[in-house]
Amino acid sequence: MNVASRLFSLVLLVAAWYSASEIAGQRIVPGPQTVGFALWTEAESGALAFHLAATLARVAVSFVLAMAIGTAIGIWMGRSRLVDRLADPWLVALLNLPALVIIVLAYVWAGLTETAAIVAVALNKLPNAIVTVREGARSLDRQLDEMAEVFGMSRWVRLRHVLIPQLAPYLAAATRSGLSLVWKIVLIVELLGRPNGVGFEIGIAFQLFDVTRILAYAIAFVLVMLAIETFLVQPIERHVSRWRPKAA
Amino acid sequence: MNDTSPAGALRQLDVSIKHKSYRAASGGTIEVLRDLRFTLKAGAVGALVGPSGCGKTTLLRIITGLDSAYTGAVHLPDHGKLGMVFQEPRLLPWRTVEQNVRLGAPEATNAELDALFDALGLSAHRNHFPGELSLGQARRVALARAFAVKPDLLVLDEPFVSLDAALAKHLQEELAALVTSRHVTTLIVTHSMDEAIGLADRLFLLSPSPAHVVAEVPIARPRVPHTAEELAKIHGEIAQVLDRVGKR
């Protein structure tokens, strides 16, 4: 039932796309079959895999960087009022700095390098991770903390078995919103200053007004992210929440 | 001087608190403990009995090192290794029963755990998560964890509160058996005189807040079923002692 309704919704989407292309014309909105063919050609030449891999690598590195640093700062701010008060204005500034400003500044200051690109993406995701994890750290159970202290648990045990499991729902939320945010920003970074990746390809296609290629690359990447969500994020989530009593 | 040191030479629990107060939300200070002194011999079971709200939990927090804002000194027996049973079970909901015990007592051997789970009727629940247990079972797990540590001092804070009378009595008997067979120096806090008489070698009667020890009552035949007659006699002695103290 679940799969069937999902499939039906997907079919509906393709049908809507098809009729849109019939109405607007193939040049403005290429139909599913045209885009599918373009996708196949790009895949055959190896270009698709190459650019997808480049983008995916950037997404992975900047995402891990932002989550690791964001989690650490978030926990710190959630647990210490002083740190929270000191760091909050910085956080608000970073939250409201447009992604484009951060990217351009990173490229101006560090050159058109891979490091600049990754740092720019990570900086864009960072405040979002901090805010989410801070919320989790504020709601930590002090009773479990005291229990860990009385039993003399080591820092590592407390982190792994007491702290992280409590933060798991918040980390999951940050991961969800983070992955989609990060990949969108990676494309802009690639468009502005990288010689490969999905964003670079879309930049070229834009200059040639090649809507088919734009859609082909966009769809390819959405499919990759969908696969990551289904085969990586969801199984991890199921494993982490296995202890919750199941609804009958 | 706030000293919670596990002094090597001292084998008994030595508590001497001059003063402990809280800053109230309204601005003033509330004195909770004043001149509270008692010692508990190694291997003995002491029961702190007093009216609710007299500062028993505060006293336990000081003894277990969770609260160091007081004047006075606490010397823990031997190496100061603590096992504690809180009022609420305080188990990690995302870890199984066995993992909970092992995390509290990483040095416990398989044989020791088998014996403990057997004694507390938990063998069938080793791989269950705390959310799948009743309150009585969760309390047993908390007891198992505290005993598995092989503590130099076992601290119990109202371990049978909010259980029905029959279950509380049953659990109390299991606890008495464990304490007798393992010779652990034990400090139990309760508001129930019967519970204290059933478990302890020595009762420490506390005054209302600011609490101090008003009288000590030794129990001649500890942890054996008392007849109604014996119980009445002990209650009579306690009433006498309290009466004498009151007249002074």
Mean pLDDT score of chain B, rounded to an integer? Answer: 87
Taking domain B2-81+158-247, whether its CATH number is 3.40.630.30 is answered by: no
Query: Chain B within 8 Å of A243 (Cβ-Cβ)?
Result: yes
Q: pLDDT band at residue B193, thresholds of 50, 70 and 90?
A: confident
Chain B residues whose beta carbon lies within 8 Å of the beta carbon of residue A240: 94
Given this model, what pLDDT does residue A1 score? 58
Convert A76-126 into a string of H (helix), E (strand) and C (coil). HHHHCHHHHHHHHHHHHHHHHCCHHHHHHHHHHHHCCCHHHHHHHHHHHHH
At B130, is the pLDDT very low, low, confident or very high (cuts 50, 70, 90)?
very high
Q: Which of A105-119, A131-145, B51-65, B138-152 has the lowest mean pLDDT?
A: B51-65
Q: When comparing pLDDT for B150 and A245, which is higher?
A: B150
pLDDT at B248: 52
Select the residue of A161, A240, A244 nearest B103 (Cβ to Cβ).
A161
pTM exceeds cut of 0.95? no
pLDDT of residue B235: 86
- Cα separation, A52 vs A220, in Å, equals 8
pLDDT, residue A234, reads 86
- Within 15-54 of A, beta carbons closer than 8 Å to B belong to none
Asked if residue A14 belongs to a domain, the reply is: no
Distance CA B99, CA A242 (A): 15
- Are the C-beta atoms of B243 and B93 separated by less than 8 Å? no
- What is the number of other CB atoms lying within 10 angstroms of the CB of residue A97? 14
Is pLDDT at A138 greater than 90 in this prediction? yes
pLDDT at A247: 58
Cβ–Cβ gap A151/B145 under 8 Å = yes
The dihedrals phi and psi of B216, each to the nearest 5 degrees, come to -115, 135
User: Span A98-106, mean pLDDT?
Assistant: 93
Range of the domain at A79: 31-240
Residue A156: per-residue pLDDT:
94
Kindly state whether residue A129 falls inside one of the protein's structural domains.
Answer: yes
User: Which of the pair, B248 or B35, is modelled with greater confidence?
Assistant: B35
- The reported pLDDT for the residue numbered A241 is 83
Q: What is the mean pLDDT of residues B220-239?
A: 83
Q: Is A195 on the interface with B (CB under 8 A)?
A: no
pLDDT in the model for residue B185: 92
Do the chains contact at B129 and A147, CB–CB below 8 Å? Answer: no
Give CA separation, A68 vs A113, A159, A236, in Å.
Answer: 22, 14, 17
Cβ atoms of A199 and A206 closer than 8 Å: no
A156 in B contact zone (CB under 8 Å): no
pLDDT, mean of residues A178-196: 92
**What is the reported pLDDT for A141?**
93
Mean pLDDT is lowest, of A99-103, B122-126, B145-149, B166-170, for B166-170
CB contact under 8 A, A245 and B132: yes
Q: Quote the pLDDT of residue B195.
A: 86
Question: Which pLDDT belongs to residue B247?
Answer: 54
CB distance A150–B95 less than 8 Å?
no
Separation between Cα atoms, residue B178 and residue B116, nearest integer Å: 9
Q: Is A169 on the interface with B (CB under 8 A)?
A: no
What average pLDDT does this structure show over B48-74? 89
Q: Which of B17-26, B97-106, B171-180 has the highest mean pLDDT?
A: B97-106
pLDDT at A198 over 60: yes
pLDDT tens digits for B93-106?
Answer: 999 999 999 999 99
Arithmetic mean of pLDDT, B175-197? 88
Task: List the CATH number of the domain containing A139.
Answer: 1.10.3720.10
Is B177 strand, coil or helix?
helix
The structure tokens listed for B208 are: 């209302």
- CB contact under 8 Å between A146 and B66, yes or no, is yes
The pLDDT confidence band at residue B1, using thresholds 50, 70 and 90, is very low
Start-end ranges of CATH 3.40.50.300 in chain B? 2-81+158-247
Strand partners, B36: B17
- CB contact (8 A) between residue A143 and residue B86: yes
Answer whether A161 sits within 8 Å of B82, measured CB to CB.
no
Give B191: exposed, middle or buried? Use CB within 10 Å, 0-12, 13-18, 19+: middle
For chain A, how many structural domains are there in total? 1
Q: What is the strand order of the sheet B2-3 is part of?
A: B2-3, B71-75, B13-23, B29-40
Cβ(B242)–Cβ(B205) under 8 Å? yes
Q: How many helices and strands (H and E) does chain B possess?
A: 7, 10
Which has more pLDDT, A222 or A245? A222
Are A146 and B105 an interchain contact pair (Cβ–Cβ within 8 Å)?
Answer: no
Interval A153-180 mean pLDDT: 91
Rounded to an integer, the average pLDDT of B16-28 is 86
Q: What is the mean pLDDT of chain A?
A: 91
Q: Is the pLDDT of residue B7 over 50?
A: no
B94: chain A residues, CB-CB within 8 Å: 161, 165, 168, 240, 243
User: Could you tell me how many CB contacts below 8 A there are between chain A and chain B?
Assistant: 53
pLDDT of the residue at B181: 86
Q: What is the mean pLDDT of residues B203-209?
A: 88
Secondary structure in 3-state letters for B79-142: CCCEEEECCCCCCCCCCCHHHHHHHHCCCCCHHHHHHHHHHCCCHHHCCCCHHHCCHHHHHHHH
Look up residue A138 and give its two tokens: 């504020």
